[in-house]
Amino acid sequence: MAVERFSSNKPFPFSDIVKANGFIFLSGQVSMAQDGEPLKGSVAGQTQCILDSIETTLSRAGASLNDVVRVQVWLSDMAHFTEFNAAYSTRFAQGFPARTVVASKLAFGVDVEKYWR
Protein backbone atom coordinates (compact mmCIF):
# COMPACT_ATOMS: atom_id res chain seq x y z
CA MET A 1 0.00 0.00 0.00
CA ALA A 2 1.32 3.42 -0.96
CA VAL A 3 1.29 5.87 1.95
CA GLU A 4 2.22 9.55 1.69
CA ARG A 5 2.57 11.67 4.82
CA PHE A 6 2.40 15.48 4.94
CA SER A 7 4.14 16.66 8.08
CA SER A 8 2.75 19.37 10.30
CA ASN A 9 4.46 22.72 10.78
CA LYS A 10 3.08 22.86 14.32
CA PRO A 11 5.26 21.76 17.24
CA PHE A 12 3.43 18.45 17.80
CA PRO A 13 4.23 14.87 16.71
CA PHE A 14 1.65 14.20 13.98
CA SER A 15 1.12 14.49 10.24
CA ASP A 16 -1.42 17.02 8.99
CA ILE A 17 -2.43 14.60 6.22
CA VAL A 18 -1.88 10.97 5.38
CA LYS A 19 -2.83 9.75 1.90
CA ALA A 20 -3.32 6.00 1.47
CA ASN A 21 -4.90 4.08 -1.42
CA GLY A 22 -6.64 7.15 -2.81
CA PHE A 23 -8.02 8.27 0.57
CA ILE A 24 -6.99 11.38 2.49
CA PHE A 25 -6.98 11.40 6.30
CA LEU A 26 -6.51 14.62 8.27
CA SER A 27 -5.49 14.96 11.88
CA GLY A 28 -8.02 16.57 14.18
CA GLN A 29 -7.76 20.35 14.19
CA VAL A 30 -8.52 23.05 16.70
CA SER A 31 -8.23 26.80 16.16
CA MET A 32 -4.49 27.27 16.47
CA ALA A 33 -1.74 29.54 15.21
CA GLN A 34 1.18 28.02 13.30
CA ASP A 35 3.33 28.20 16.44
CA GLY A 36 0.88 25.91 18.26
CA GLU A 37 -0.75 28.65 20.30
CA PRO A 38 -4.51 28.04 20.72
CA LEU A 39 -6.74 30.76 19.26
CA LYS A 40 -9.72 31.18 21.53
CA GLY A 41 -12.73 33.41 21.04
CA SER A 42 -16.26 32.80 19.87
CA VAL A 43 -17.34 29.37 18.68
CA ALA A 44 -18.09 30.91 15.27
CA GLY A 45 -14.60 32.39 15.13
CA GLN A 46 -12.96 29.12 16.17
CA THR A 47 -15.03 27.24 13.59
CA GLN A 48 -14.06 29.63 10.77
CA CYS A 49 -10.39 29.42 11.80
CA ILE A 50 -10.52 25.62 11.68
CA LEU A 51 -12.29 25.64 8.31
CA ASP A 52 -9.65 28.03 6.91
CA SER A 53 -6.93 25.71 8.20
CA ILE A 54 -8.67 22.63 6.79
CA GLU A 55 -8.98 24.26 3.36
CA THR A 56 -5.27 25.07 3.38
CA THR A 57 -4.39 21.57 4.57
CA LEU A 58 -6.59 19.87 1.97
CA SER A 59 -5.07 21.99 -0.81
CA ARG A 60 -1.64 20.53 0.05
CA ALA A 61 -3.03 17.14 -0.98
CA GLY A 62 -4.82 18.47 -4.08
CA ALA A 63 -8.27 18.38 -2.43
CA SER A 64 -10.93 20.81 -1.20
CA LEU A 65 -13.89 20.89 1.16
CA ASN A 66 -15.97 19.48 -1.71
CA ASP A 67 -13.96 16.24 -1.42
CA VAL A 68 -14.74 15.71 2.28
CA VAL A 69 -17.09 12.78 2.93
CA ARG A 70 -17.10 12.58 6.75
CA VAL A 71 -16.57 15.04 9.63
CA GLN A 72 -16.38 14.29 13.35
CA VAL A 73 -16.91 17.40 15.49
CA TRP A 74 -16.26 17.82 19.19
CA LEU A 75 -17.74 20.78 21.03
CA SER A 76 -16.82 21.65 24.60
CA ASP A 77 -20.54 22.02 25.34
CA MET A 78 -23.63 21.21 23.25
CA ALA A 79 -24.85 24.71 24.13
CA HIS A 80 -22.48 25.80 21.29
CA PHE A 81 -24.32 23.66 18.71
CA THR A 82 -26.39 26.45 17.11
CA GLU A 83 -23.47 28.90 16.84
CA PHE A 84 -21.22 26.16 15.45
CA ASN A 85 -23.83 25.11 12.84
CA ALA A 86 -24.31 28.70 11.67
CA ALA A 87 -20.57 29.10 10.99
CA TYR A 88 -20.06 25.58 9.61
CA SER A 89 -22.96 25.76 7.17
CA THR A 90 -21.47 28.70 5.25
CA ARG A 91 -18.57 26.70 3.77
CA PHE A 92 -20.01 23.77 1.79
CA ALA A 93 -21.22 25.02 -1.60
CA GLN A 94 -21.75 21.53 -3.06
CA GLY A 95 -23.53 19.93 -0.11
CA PHE A 96 -22.55 18.74 3.34
CA PRO A 97 -20.45 15.72 4.26
CA ALA A 98 -21.77 13.11 6.68
CA ARG A 99 -21.22 14.40 10.22
CA THR A 100 -21.33 13.53 13.89
CA VAL A 101 -21.19 16.11 16.71
CA VAL A 102 -20.42 15.20 20.33
CA ALA A 103 -19.55 17.13 23.48
CA SER A 104 -16.25 16.55 25.24
CA LYS A 105 -13.57 18.38 27.20
CA LEU A 106 -11.03 19.52 24.60
CA ALA A 107 -7.28 20.10 24.63
CA PHE A 108 -6.03 23.64 25.21
CA GLY A 109 -9.42 24.75 26.57
CA VAL A 110 -10.83 25.40 23.09
CA ASP A 111 -14.50 24.93 22.25
CA VAL A 112 -14.35 23.21 18.82
CA GLU A 113 -12.30 20.39 17.27
CA LYS A 114 -12.84 18.64 13.94
CA TYR A 115 -11.61 15.44 12.37
CA TRP A 116 -11.96 15.03 8.60
CA ARG A 117 -11.95 12.18 6.09
Residue 114, pLDDT > 70, answer yes
Q: pLDDT tens digits, residue range 38-84?
A: 889 999 999 999 999 999 999 999 999 999 999 999 999 999 999 99
What pLDDT sits at residue 48? 95
Q: What confidence tier does 117 reach under pLDDT thresholds 50, 70, 90?
A: low
**CA dist., res. 91 & res. 4, Å (int):** 27
What are the residue boundaries of the structural domains of the chain, listed by start? 29-116
Evaluate whether the domain defined by 29-116 bears CATH number 3.30.365.10: no
Q: Would you state the pLDDT for residue 79?
A: 97
Q: Kindly report the pTM of this predicted structure.
A: 0.88
pLDDT value for 19: 93
